[in-house]
Amino acid sequence: MNFLSHYQLAYQNDSPYYTLGVLLPDLIPGFTKLNKQKSIDCIYTVQEEEMIAGVAFHLKTDRVFHNLEIFHELTKQLTLVLTSNSSFKIPRSFFIAHVLVELLIDKFLVESNPEKATQFYSELDEIDIEILNIFLKKINYQDNNFISRFDNFKTRRFAFLLNSNENLFQALGYICFKRIHFSANDYEKEVILEQIDTCVGIVALEWENILHEMHIKLVEYDH
């Protein structure tokens, strides 16, 4: 799931540090491995414990989401759309379809409840960067550029940029295309934009059902 979807599902969302924890696994490459290796000997502050709880919720939500039948079905449908043009093939189209499903859920969340998205970013603005830096040191994460990337994430309000097919294409480029070494020419971009438009219509019919099923599955998971 993407940023806002995790936040939307969070049981506890009155703490900015819990919200940050919910976000961290998507902001830090390889965070799951770092999280497993964090020292059990560290003494964590209240804010750090809230971040750890948010991280745990994020990982649990991903486990549940990635096992949803409706998610797998949507990914298959979007893969078929992305591979429908015979003149060129997008490499790893299933991976791109997976990411696009997640981006589109966030797109519809913003459109249906922009106040919730605004609240999400407002909570992140409350984070004390020194507290964040100390926590990152405790989990042995070293990246001198992370704070500037975090500030950029907050400033740009990326969730609000998912409002057009062009921006969705750019998001896929940043998240997926770089990793698979794919660069679309002008013709390929136009085809992909048309495919994205079809995918938007498909996910529009199911995104609320996905979140509803997630709520049910998360309750079952805890019991």
- Non-local (6+) Cβ contacts of 194 within 8 A are none
Specify the pTM.
Answer: 0.92
Q: What is the pLDDT of residue 139?
A: 85
Report the phi/psi class of residue 194: left, alpha or beta, with left for phi > 0 and alpha for psi in -120 to 50: alpha
Write down the domain spans for the chain: 3-222
SS3 content of the chain, % helix, strand, coil (to 5): 75, 0, 25
Q: Return the beta strands (E) in the chain as ranges.
A: none
pLDDT tens over the chain, length 223 residues: 999 999 999 866 679 999 999 999 998 877 777 766 666 667 889 999 999 999 999 999 999 999 999 999 999 999 999 999 989 888 999 999 999 999 999 999 999 999 999 999 999 999 999 999 999 988 888 888 899 999 999 999 999 999 999 999 999 999 999 899 999 999 999 999 999 999 999 999 999 999 999 999 999 887 7
Measure the CA–CA gap between 8 and 18, rounded to whole angstroms: 13
pLDDT digits (tens, 9 = 90+) for 125-173: 999 999 999 999 888 888 888 999 999 999 999 999 999 999 999 999 9
| Nearest-angstrom CA–CA distance, 9 and 58 | 9
